[in-house]
Amino acid sequence: MIGDIIGEPGRNILARKLSHLMETYEIDFVIANGENSAGGFGITPKIAEELYLLGVDVITTGNHVWDKKEIVDYITQQPRLLRPANYPDSTPGAGSAVISLSRTEKVAVLQLMGRVFMPTTDCPFQIGWREVARLRAETPIIIVDMHAEATSEKRAMGWYLDGEVSAVVGTHTHVQTADEEILPKGTAYLTDAGMTGPMHSVIGMNKDQVIHRFLHQMPQRFEMGGGPCVISAALLTVDVNGRAQSIVRLQVKDTD
């Protein structure tokens, strides 16, 4: 599971590194958060198709999913591009997908979004429980992208779904955490997968512009950061019964 892809720099390092990573680690399935893949804000149909060609199976998003208006029609036609499941039912797109991995095995991906310091949505816990029950009827292998600001909310979701899903991996804060573990009932957990994009930045944005904003509290248009890039991700091993066997943090840099 690949952390938030930040603009063209993030897409470019995936183009350079992802196929090698898939071969090296014998990866069967790739999930990537793409809500910042278009200039740092949103995603476009063209970029989504580009990510699929690189080897991404399912793209998750979050609060920036609607930043590029052309995605609204596309998301209704592309089941592998998800928006948070706890948006209203009338919202375009779907919050989960079930993808066939082989003739006998399927992988379900569920996208949820937190409510602490985030846009107003329905309860991710209640919606999450409902969706997991529905998905388990199709497959025991369920990966949850918990897109949230608050560490506590992500952590609570991990415990809430322990034993019900294969993994709960957080996104949104763009900083990879060091708390990967297998919870007691067999669910892999990581508070945040981190970001895929420029390292010499502030969560992907031009560091000088961000510092200027903090210093002077003046409106500032942020541009992409530059320099070498990193892929931040979580490598999950899950058995056919949906129980996590391992979770390992990855950080692959341009220099690797």
Confidence of residue 255 (pLDDT cuts 50, 70, 90): confident
pTM above 0.85, yes or no: yes
Per-residue pLDDT tens for 127-169?
999 999 999 999 999 999 999 999 999 999 999 999 999 999 9
Residues with active-site annotation: 64
Confidence of residue 220 (pLDDT cuts 50, 70, 90): confident
How big is the CA angle at 64 (ends 156 and 168), to the nearest 5 degrees? 25
> Residue 6: which of 178, 232, 237, 251 has the closest Cα?
232
Q: Provide mean pLDDT across the span 176-199.
A: 98
pLDDT value, residue 104: 84
Report the C-alpha gap between 49 and 141 in whole angstroms: 25
Per-residue pLDDT tens for 8-44?
999 999 999 999 999 999 999 999 999 999 999 999 9
Residues, the chain, total? Answer: 256
Question: Which domains are seen in the chain, by residue range?
Answer: 4-253 (3.60.21.10)
